[in-house]
A and B are shown apart, each in its own frame.
Chain A
Amino acid sequence: MAEKQLINVLLIEDNPEIAKLLREMLRKSPTCHFEVRHEPSLKPALEYVTRKNTDIIILDLTLPDSEGFPTFFSVRSVVPDVPIIILTGVDDEEMAVQAVREGAQDYLVKSHIDMHLFLRAMQYAIERHRIEEALRRATSELEQRVKERTAELTYSNKELKKEIEERTQAQSQLVQAAKMEVVGRLASGVAHEVRNPLAIILQAKEYLEGIVDTKDKNISSTLRSMSKALERADAIINGLLDFSRLSQLEMKPADINEVIESSVLLVKHEFDRFHIQLVKELAPDLPRIMVDKNKIEQVFVNLLMNSIDAMQDSGTLHIETSAVTTATGPAVCIRIHDSGSGIPQEILNKIWDPFFTTKRFKNGTGLGLSIVKSIVEMHKGSIEIKNRAEGGVTVTLLFYV
Chain B
Amino acid sequence: MAVNEIDVKYVAYLARIALTPAEEEKLGAQLGQVLGYIEKLKELDVTGIEPTAHAVPLVNVSRPDVIRPSLSHSEAMRNAPAQANGLFMVPKIVE
Chain A partners chain B: no
Binding site for B on A (CB under 8 A): none
